[in-house]
Amino acid sequence: MTPVDEKPPRNALTYWEVAETPPTGDDPLDTLIVRLAAAYEEPRLLKFHFDDVGSAAGRAAELVDSDLRVSTRGEVLTAGDYLSAYVLEWTLHHLDLIACLPDAAKPSTEGLAGSRHLFETIAGATFPVSLSDDDTLLVGAGRRSPNDTENADLGELAAKLPMVLA
């Protein structure tokens, strides 16, 4: 995030867009992300990094003026909208990290509900209430395939999945 004087044309809702296709891995950034993830080698190293970065980000979020205009990824928005947009991304990453850890703590109920609302608004789709907030995010963003019951509940929406945010 870099402070700028420009008027923000984006907000937490318009920051993300639903991509037409999932990433192919051809983009150099896709390759970099895979290499960075592999560099941790042990889960404790990743945990250490996220504890450190997450704590610093939390302190910065409490201190920043939410109306501050910032630029990131070539887009301008307020710091408050930037932080709101990233709650969705970090909630998805939290769910990714605990996918195989049944005893790990889930994101907060409030964070899941807010992320679901933001995801549905960005996607222009309302997911069935039979899907929990975390299942909506996991299935909607393609982190896992819907089971038979979820597929039936999704109806026509199932054909539009996954919805990849870019």
What would the pLDDT profile of 112-160 be if each residue is shown by its tens digit? 999 999 999 999 999 999 999 999 999 999 999 999 999 999 999 999 9
Q: Which residues contact 114 (CB under 8 A, 6 or more apart)?
A: 84, 87, 88
Residue 146 falls inside a structural domain: yes
Residue 166 belongs to a domain = no
Mean pLDDT within 89-101: 89
Tokens of 72: 């990131």
- What is the chain's mean pLDDT, rounded? 90
Question: Is residue 30 predicted with pLDDT exceeding 80?
Answer: no
Residue 59 located in a structural domain: yes
State residue 166's pLDDT score. Answer: 84
Whether 120 is in a domain gets the answer yes
**Domain annotation covers residue 165:** no
Q: Which of 107, 108, 133 is nearest to 120 (CA)?
A: 133
Q: Can you give the pLDDT at residue 97?
A: 85
Q: Where does the chain have alpha helices with state H?
A: 28-38, 43-63, 79-97, 109-123, 133-140, 148-154
Check whether 111 has a pLDDT greater than 90.
yes
Rounded-to-integer distance, Cα 33 and Cα 39, Å: 10
Residue 43 has pLDDT above 80, yes or no: no
CA atoms of 99 and 143, how far apart (whole Å): 9
Max Cα–Cα distance, the chain, nearest Å: 50
Q: What is the pLDDT of residue 24?
A: 78
pLDDT at 52 over 80: yes
5 and 68 Cβ atoms separated by less than 8 Å: no
In a domain, 58, yes or no: yes
Q: Is the pLDDT of residue 101 over 90?
A: no
Task: Supply the range of the domain harboring residue 30.
Answer: 2-160
- Partner residues linked to 70 by β-bridges: 3, 77
Inside any domain, residue 47? yes
Please report which confidence band the pLDDT of residue 81 belongs to, taking 50, 70 and 90 as the band edges. Answer: very high
Our count of domains for the chain comes to 1
pLDDT greater than 80 at residue 36: no
Q: How confident is the model at residue 37 (pLDDT cuts 50, 70, 90)?
A: confident
